């Protein structure tokens, strides 16, 4: 970034609503169309000054301070178009709402340069995608973890992208997830609130921290309780990394097959039979015999419903992505057992 020529200069005067905040936090609010990672790169590259002096991310801003940001010229597009099938829930001239399949990464990153959700829209829509997301994530407004399925919205225009980003920042977007949990949350319904951040002893994992981090809030309720597993609905009122996964683990019921926060990485036919028997008869011993085929081998988390205002018309839109087949494969025998008992 240091060697990139300046493409745009942005100048801001700090208002009372930002006074006292760290510069990096204030800058993220002043540049809502940019990711926090991008803001950090600007600061690290010396492209931000505070009242005419080089700026450090941790500096506290004061009302009346002048912030100047030199945004570099975009580098050539690195994400390449690929003919990857898309499951389109809705599309118009401004937005695309997709049902992301599990296993696909949202956008290129280190180790995932192709085969991502960005490579597919580039093939189908080309230059019509918003450029705000940058060279590696054109059109991407928000993200889902690689092994999380469900609703994801992308923008075709910069105006749509900025408007949607504002809704996400202001928490005007409704996000409902469904999770199959390993165990049942305690209590079975409630809320989890606290600051989420990276764990000091494991930077790849997040957790609820006693200090630092960012505020997070999830409302959850157990929809189907089978004893050893449960179907849980989560309403995410904030959008933090791994939020639903961290919060459900905190309640003693991590997402089934969550490799980072869970109790196991795969769920087999034998384990499913055990869950059915436990639900029907209260027996928890593992059935004898071979483990059988793997029923589930990714975190059972699905972005079920997404609702927001259309960025151009303001119309309220709501979308629902069907529960994927691998999660249904876990639920179906348990639902059948419930029906037989009733």
Task: State the Cα–Cα distance between residues 240 and 197, nearest whole angstrom.
Answer: 9
Q: Do the Cβ atoms of 156 and 132 come closer than 8 Å?
A: no
Task: State the Cα–Cα distance between residues 182 and 26, nearest whole angstrom.
Answer: 39
Instruction: Give the number of C-alpha atoms closer than 13 A to the C-alpha of residue 254, restricted to the C-beta side.
Output: 16
Q: Which positions are catalytic?
A: 145
How far CA 119 is from CA of 192, 274, 300, in Å, comes to 35, 41, 25
Taking Cα atoms as reference points, which of 54, 90, 140 lies closest to residue 320? 90
Total residues belonging to the chain = 342
Task: State the Cα–Cα distance between residues 157 and 175, nearest whole angstrom.
Answer: 22
Phi and psi dihedrals of 173, rounded to 5? -105, 135
The dihedral over CA atoms of 56, 59, 64, 67, expressed in degrees to the nearest 10, equals 20
Q: Do the Cβ atoms of 297 and 266 come closer than 8 Å?
A: yes
């Amino acid at each position: 970034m240091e060697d990139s020529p300046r493409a745009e200069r942005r100048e801001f005067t700090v208002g009372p609503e930002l006074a006292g905040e760290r510069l990096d936090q204030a800058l993220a609010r002043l540049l809502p169309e940019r990711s926090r990672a991008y803001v950090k790169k600007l600061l690290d590259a010396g492209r931000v000054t505070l009242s005419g002096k080089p700026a450090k991310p941790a500096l506290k801003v004061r009302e009346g301070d002048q912030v100047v940001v030199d945004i570099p010229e975009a580098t050539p597009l690195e994400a390449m178009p690929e003919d990857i099938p898309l499951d389109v829930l809705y599309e118009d001239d401004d937005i695309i709402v997709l049902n992301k399949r599990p296993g696909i990464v949202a956008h290129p990153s280190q180790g995932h340069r192709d085969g991502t959700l960005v490579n597919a829209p580039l093939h189908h829509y080309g230059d019509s995608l918003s450029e705000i997301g940058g060279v590696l994530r054109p059109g991407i407004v928000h993200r889902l973890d690689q092994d999380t399925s469900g609703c994801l919205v992308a923008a075709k225009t910069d105006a749509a992208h900025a408007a949607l980003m504002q809704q996400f920042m202001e928490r005007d977007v409704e996000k409902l997830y469904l999770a199959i949990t390993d165990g049942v949350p305690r209590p079975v319904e409630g809320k989890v609130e606290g600051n989420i951040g990276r764990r000091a002893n494991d930077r790849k994992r997040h957790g609820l921290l006693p200090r630092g981090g960012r505020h997070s809030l999830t409302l959850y309720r157990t929809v189907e309780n089978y004893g050893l597993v449960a179907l849980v609905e989560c309403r995410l009122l904030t959008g933090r990394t791994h939020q639903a996964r961290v919060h459900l683990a905190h309640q003693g019921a991590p997402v089934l097959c969550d490799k980072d926060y869970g109790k196991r990485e795969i769920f087999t036919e034998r384990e499913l039979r055990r869950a059915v028997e436990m639900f029907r008869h209260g027996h928890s011993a593992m059935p004898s015999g071979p483990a059988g085929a793997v029923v589930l081998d990714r975190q059972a988390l699905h972005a079920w419903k997404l609702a927001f205002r259309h960025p151009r018309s303001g119309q309220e839109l709501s979308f629902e992505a069907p529960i994927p087949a691998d999660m249904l494969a876990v639920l179906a025998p348990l639902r059948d057992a419930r029906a037989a008992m009733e």
